């Protein structure tokens, strides 16, 4: 799947001045190397807080670059754990950013 320039305009406008741009590239790269990723594992890989990881995941999901594959129950009876993967659109974005 190729990525249209029109798909990138809202993303670029939103991220143009963000210090999280590098985190976004790192996150996309890490997710692409794994077929599926638990959101809490991203926090350990990226140099940012868990809250920042969640914000970036939801931001990428909003534009269709990542998606939730499934949710699993928490072992501590808290919120369910989300498992994420890169979409074809996300893979195309990663190729453009690399």
Indicate which CATH number applies to the domain containing 28: 1.10.10.10
Domain that holds residue 82: 5-97
> How far apart are alpha carbons 86 and 80 in whole angstroms?
20
- Cα separation, 27 vs 8, whole angstroms: 17
Q: Rounded distance, CA 8 to CA 30, Å?
A: 20
Domain count, the chain: 1
Tens digit of each residue's pLDDT, the chain (98 residues)? 556 656 666 766 666 566 667 778 888 888 999 888 988 888 888 888 888 888 889 888 988 899 999 988 877 777 888 899 999 988 888 887 76
């Amino acid at each position: 799947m190729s990525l249209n320039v029109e798909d990138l305009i809202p993303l670029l406008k939103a991220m143009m001045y963000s210090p999280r741009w590098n985190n976004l590239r790192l996150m996309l790269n890490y997710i692409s190397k794994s077929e599926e990723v638990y959101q809490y594992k991203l926090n350990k890989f990226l140099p940012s807080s868990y809250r920042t990881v969640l914000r970036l995941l939801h931001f990428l999901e909003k534009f269709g670059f990542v998606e939730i594959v499934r949710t699993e129950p928490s072992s501590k009876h808290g919120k369910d754990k989300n498992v994420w993967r890169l979409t074809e659109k996300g893979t195309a974005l990663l190729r453009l950013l690399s």
